[in-house]
Structure 1
Amino acid sequence: MCTAATYQTKDFYFGRTLDYEFSYGDEIVVTPRKFPLDFCHMGKCDAHYGMIGMAHVADGYPLYYDAVNEKGVGMAGLNFVGNAVYQKVEEGRENVAQYELIPWVLGQCANLQEVRKLLAKMNLVGTPFGDFPAAQLHWIIADASGAITLECTKDGLQVYDNPAGVLTNNPPFPMQMFQLNNYAGLSPKQPEHRFSGQIPFTSYSRGMGAMGLPGDLSSESRFARVAFVKCNSVSGDSEKESVSQFFHILGSVDQQRGCCEVAEGKYEITIYTSCCNASKGIYYYTTYDNHQISAVDMHRTDLDSKTLSCYKPVTEEQIFCQN
């Protein structure tokens, strides 16, 4: 499935992996300030914040998987199958379809405080986009001040503080956070022998930090692994050091073809990994067959345009030959 994370050095970084067995035809898409956003139940918006992210463009509309806006707010939707239950359209409410939630939030909100106020008035509905069924998702929303998780279940719309700055898939977010208690004894340091004073132990290797960290591909394990790696990450403040470290953080949950079979002969892979410098509006990414980092800078496009700027991802491996 998928994993999202935040990271703070001199700038604020936000990104995710998208793990699936096939691509819908993803593109890096810049939605400029004057691109008309025609919301299903809320009318048309002709002026809003510009944003950049990975999306599938259908009938000229960007269906974002993840994006950041020009003010530094980032947002990503991750699969939440079996738990996502959307609300019914209600008169007098701000009814927002799940497929338009990312542009709805990022188009209006300059910080996390404004996001919270907007969500308090919102009614999240399951209106589909054309022939696409309503995707069952939950979302991480973040800026340099912190992160929240948004879930809509049978119990209604819930907004949770997210101190880990991480999101994966099922189970619901409070259960994901609670299960981190199982790893309270993890440390990046060489393990201390506390098993018993009656048995002599000898360390058979160096580099045994994080002993007990789960290594499987389940969403619970990925949540714990990325939370640990992110919270213990050390890097410099430069752009290259920060971006490199972010890709290493999400690289801890990279999915290789053949390890996660979802149907006969079909395997989940990490189709892409993104890292956006939300402070500067630069979208970095790698793809399954291209580990060289590519970048699109939203500020090098015309942010006052009325048309989308779309960039096909580089998917073929780029190898630098030194001789």
Structure 2
Amino acid sequence: MCTAITLKTSENHHLVGRNFDIHPMNDLSVALVPREFEYVNRVTNEEMKTKYAVLGMGLFYENHILFCDGVNEKGLSCLMLQLSKFSTWSHKIRKDKVNIAPYDVAFWVLSNFSTISELMEGLKQLNIVALPDDQTALSTEIHWLVSDTSGQSIVIERTRDKLTVYNNKVGVLANSPTFDWHLNNLDCYINVKSEQPEETKWGQQMLSPYSNGFGTIGLPGDFSSPSRFVKAAFLRNHVNVGEGDESAISECFHILDNFVVPRGVVETPKRKECHLTKYSACLCLETQLYYYKTSSNQQIQVIDLNKENLDAKGLKLFPYPTRLTVHDQN
């Protein structure tokens, strides 16, 4: 479960926001990966090297970093979101392709490309591989939202043995089903609007709205993926971002707050555990600022990629806030 949006500020800067919803887990941390960083491709065991520095939220396991989302020094962002029951991967290495595990696609995108136009050429050489002995890859079911400083946004999905790229004109993404299904489903909500309906008569009975918000009646409010997609699309495309980047960043978090999953509200049938929103993030593509807040600490943190040494020799990890922080006013 995840929800993502894109926004444009009054300064013509581009924001990408997301909630990361998952069962309780540890080992999350914002990480900075420098240029020329060497790592091992977990499909081919070949040594690889980053072209661009990357800043984003990482999940660590088996001495490996998996980027949930991030932005690189050129202003390209990539987010991965769950796509249960629809994702399919190749199970064989192809020598004529770039072979990448599904959980490493976001890092591959961010560390190698500066624009969506460049990426589109790179995708022609991509083979997303889940080898039979890689249980993590076999159980990974995801799709990706990629955005750049031109304002373009695309969705990448691999289903039924085919890689599909969608131009994301609505500016949001959630989970299953596939992106094209969500777009068709939006037609069912064509009546929802931000304006108040006018008074009307049914027979001799006068009907009139008795509170604000009557235009939004019918907008879904549950935590299912289709409902979150619809509501995110409505909010994203009707919000007034205000003046300046700070106002737009605040509105980005306000939109994401509509989809925060409190602990215990959504159970997972297989694990008998509960999904919850682990963190909410907002990335500015032009400034490469990474804003985020966690389920345990609602104070917004910010990390500036350009304040760091992008030619450092190793990873830099930033502490993940796990305790409540409050501002005392007396």
Distance change in 2, residues 1:233/1:70 (3 Å): same
What's the counterpart of residue 70 of structure 2?
A: 67
Matches within 5 A, 1:55-204: 55-87=58-90, 88-127=92-131, 132-134=136-138, 135-144=140-149, 145-192=151-198, 196=202, 199-204=205-210
Cα-to-partner distance string for 1:236-264 (whole Å, 9 max, x where unaligned):
34232121111011111111123212248
**SS at structure 2 position matched to 1:117:** helix
**SS at structure 1 position matched to 2:44:** coil
Cα-to-partner distance string for 1:17-64 (whole Å, 9 max, x where unaligned):
111121241000111112113223383333411111111133443211
CA distance in 1, matches of 2:153, 2:40: 27
Contact 1:99 1:129 in 2 (8 A): no
What's the counterpart of residue 6 of structure 2?
A: 6
TM norm structure 1: 0.93
What's the counterpart of residue 32 of structure 2?
A: 30
Distance change in 2, residues 1:93/1:197 (3 Å): farther
Q: Could you tell me how far 1:194 is from its partner in structure 2?
A: 6.5
* Equivalent residue letter for 2:3: T
Q: Could you tell me how far 1:106 is from its partner in structure 2?
A: 1.2
Matched, 1:53 2:53: no
Q: Which moved more, 1:88-97 or 1:283-292?
A: 88-97
What's the counterpart of residue 258 of structure 2?
A: 252
**SS at structure 1 position matched to 2:107:** helix
* Equivalent residue letter for 2:113: C
**SS at structure 1 position matched to 2:194:** coil
Question: Mind listing any 5+ residue stretches in structure 1 that lack a counterpart?
Answer: none
**SS at structure 2 position matched to 1:132:** helix
Distance change in 2, residues 1:157/1:204 (3 Å): same
What's the counterpart of residue 318 of structure 1?
A: 325
CA distance in 1, matches of 2:185, 2:324: 38
Q: Could you tell me how far 1:196 is from its partner in structure 2?
A: 4.8
CA distance in 1, matches of 2:109, 2:93: 18
CA distance in 2, matches of 1:265, 1:86: 27
Q: Which moved more, 1:85-94 or 1:270-279?
A: 85-94
Distance change in 2, residues 1:248/1:129 (3 Å): farther
Distance change in 2, residues 1:228/1:197 (3 Å): farther
CA distance in 2, matches of 1:47, 1:276: 21
CA distance in 1, matches of 2:203, 2:65: 61
Distance change in 2, residues 1:311/1:129 (3 Å): farther
TM norm structure 2: 0.91
Question: Mind listing any 5+ residue stretches in structure 2 that lack a counterpart?
Answer: none
Distance change in 2, residues 1:229/1:200 (3 Å): same
RMSD (CA atoms): 2.1
Contact 1:38 1:45 in 2 (8 A): yes
Matches within 5 A, 1:218-237: 218-237=224-243
**SS at structure 2 position matched to 1:151:** strand
* Equivalent residue letter for 2:18: R
Distance change in 2, residues 1:194/1:224 (3 Å): farther
Distance change in 2, residues 1:302/1:214 (3 Å): same
Contact 1:301 1:309 in 2 (8 A): no
CA distance in 2, matches of 1:198, 1:161: 49
Distance change in 2, residues 1:306/1:246 (3 Å): same
